[in-house]
Amino acid sequence: MLTQLRDIVEQVNATDSLDSAAQILVQQIRSVMAVDCCSVYLTQASEKRFNLSATDGLERSAAGNISIAFNEGIVGLVGQKEEPINLADAQAHPRFKYLPEIKEDNFRAFLAAPIIHQRQVLGVLVVQQTQAREFDKTEESFLVTLATQLANVIAHAQAKGLVSAQQQHKKTIKSLRGIAGSPGIAIANAHVVIPNICLQQVSNEPLPTADETTISDEVDAFQQAVRNSKEEIASIALRLKGQLPQETMAIFDVYQQMLSEADLSGEVKRKIQQGYSATSAVKLIAEGYIERFQGMSDPYLRERASDLRDVAQRLLSHLSGTAFTAKVASDIILVAEEVTATMLANVPRGHLKGIVSVSGSANSHAAILARALGLPALMGMALPIEKMAGSTLIIDGYSGELYVEPEQAVLQEYVGLLEEERELDNIMQDCLAAPAVTKDNVAVEMLLNAGLSADTEIAINEFADGVGLYRTEVPFMLTESFPTESEQTERYKGILHTYQGKPVTMRTLDVGGDKQLPYFPIVEENPFLGWRGIRITLDHPEIFLVQIKAMLRASIGEDNLQIMLPMVSGLQEVDDAIRLIEQAYCEVHEQIRDTGQILREPKLGVMLEVPAALLLLPQLAQRVDFWSIGSNDLTQYLLAVDRNNPRVAGLFDSFHPAVLQALKFIIEQAKTHQVPVSLCGELAGDPLGAAVLLAMGYTKLSMNTYNIARIKFVIRHVNVAELKELLHQAYQLNSGAEVRALFSRYLEQQGLGGLVRAGR
């Protein structure tokens, strides 16, 4: 039956509406299981009822017109118990509810299974027969398996179907939820962008005839496309210059770098030399890079796949003569399958009010650019974008909600909230230059997380106290071989000089697991618990030593370098790393001894992200100068949750009681052993998270640039003594949701509610 099950799922997946999916589903199940009737009831949570969505065997006209309350009938019982029910004679069951409209008088045998997605009952799948018999275990197993397989399909179809129904019937729908990529409220009509040509449409096959002339022509065409793309990106950057901070403008430097001979362009030309057309070569090389980046768990790095796809798409557009231009004459919300930074920048700034992207996350460059421009953004929205053109949309970038063709009352409410938000933004900007000090005079260091092209990506300004995390692995991922010591030195020198006089914490090479280098492949059954981070660099001291020497050379004359070791789980790892760092220091010191240059020993720290390290804090305190908490990975490992796995992502919770206890333990140990500690995960850039951390005693927070203003605003409007009282209550709570609610109420009382919801 596995083949039949797979066929049913594939057919349902191929449909473009929920109604069609449901009808195909019941017809195929009835045929495969050789039953007299199959029906699917879908949940209508707002009314606490199951609607008969489709049937093959009951009265066809009843579909869409008949519903059963959650506490009624056997269907309701299946939903309540969340388990299958198998009855030889359903009409003899005390929960049987007779509905004359559906004409099921002749049916006796009844088998139903709940359709459950992420702990929510989405519906009930039912088969019936006129013969009074109990379905056998094979049949029951098949229906349960099918219901399980279809849960994701129906969840996705429902999200799409809600909008389809809205377009067809003009009924008010509840808000659809996505990822809040950039906070704020936007109200405007949808402007949908669909590329004229995309990677999937391009052939993988080599040219039928690839003589020297043909190859030369293809190379010439590609080089012209590269020139056109570079000019186009430079033009976009020039147009936005002055509207964006220097750090955000570096996004376009990244695009130019990807088009360079050392990166994408060089590989594409070599592919053309192998007999492929320019378009096919772009597709093959780009898809290889995209696949590598998409497989990474680090959200910042994973979203670079979007940048690569955008660059490749732009090259294809120029090769085919169909380059994207935005013709916009009124206020719009940009909607696309994958909104990119360059697509966003192409729309006139005065008319662009927000963005909605089917794919992407809060770490995509489109989201980063949206935040810098103050544009609300929703990412990861399951929408049939081709049907949305011209629809009135409301974006709530705080809750991640999208309204399509809202009722007048909803529209008026958000118009008022939008005005309140503008007032709050003006107030926050006014305090940006002020010191990060709480109402009861607790000073907080505001550090920055940096990555790609960090020397320009996050420009120094009076609002930051240094770099809390510089991801050194990013440059390694954009080259065809390990960068040389001199290449690394030049890059590190740039960022150290940019932040002259302020600490810059450089994390040593953190690859392996999900972060693969194209020239250093690692294949493992369980990469997340395998050969990665400090384990790789200690096994390859030649790589580690080159990087450390490059950092040390770069620090000469700057005196602001701090080195941090990632994924530490044991003391021997730290001891071995210290030995190698001392070796590198001696070598560099010897080489510059007669030059008059001064090389100072950098401070050394460890990243606390593996739970085992928490049990070694007293010993670590004797070996290193500082600790830095990677709260994202620490939460992931503590809760055994891969937050990039949609099946369990909902369980990832930085406010989980166990996570709070771990953070409490770390800060207590830091105070006991007098070790400076900072936190550089997403929790630091979350207003609620910052409040919790302040209550615990954390005074070094590292975050992305766009969070500096609002976290500083929070800091200046809270009282740590009051937060500590709240924290004592929080330790007694049973869930992260309760902790959020507790601190949200406090922020509301301080006039900070507008940072965690719409309005002021």
In contact, 259 and 349? CB cutoff 8 Å: no
Report residue 17 as tokens.
Answer: 């509406």
Tokens at 715, concatenated: 């800091």
496 and 560 Cβ atoms separated by less than 8 Å: yes
Phi then psi for residue 82, to 5 deg, are 55, 40
Amino acid at position 661, single letter: Q
Written as one letter, the residue type at 741 is A
The DSSP element (H or E) to which 377 belongs, if any, is strand 377-379
Tokens of 592: 């510059």
Tell me if residue 365 is catalytic.
yes
Exactly one of 93, 365, 586, 656 is catalytic; which is it? 365
Catalytic residue among 37, 318, 656, 680: 680
Phi and psi dihedrals of 512, rounded to 5? Answer: 95, 170
Nearest to 675 by CA among 635, 628, 634: 628
DSSP 467-535: EEEEETHHHHHTSSSPPPHHHHHHHHHHHHHHTTTS-EEEEPP--BTTB-BTTB----SSGGGSSBTHH
Say which residues have a Cβ less than 8 Å from residue 666's Cβ, sequence separation at least 6.
Answer: 608, 614, 617, 627, 629, 677
The helix/strand count (H/E) of the chain reads as 27, 22
* DSSP assignment letter at 169: H
Rounded to an integer, what distance in angstroms lies between the CA atom of residue 359 and that of residue 307? 13
Angle at 19 between CA 15 and CA 21, to 5 degrees: 35
DSSP secondary structure code for residue 259 in this structure: T
40 within 8 A of 124, measured Cβ to Cβ: yes
Alpha carbons 449 and 681: distance in angstroms, whole number: 9
Gap between the Cα atoms of 743 and 388, Å rounded: 37
Closest CA to 494 of 562, 448, 551, 563: 551
Give me the torsion for CA of 132, 138, 144, 150, rounded to 10°: -110
680 annotated active-site: yes
Q: How far apart are CA 509 and CA 539, in angstroms?
A: 12
Rounded Cα distance between 126 and 141, Å, is 13
DSSP-derived 3-state class of residue 200: helix
Which residues carry out catalysis?
365, 680
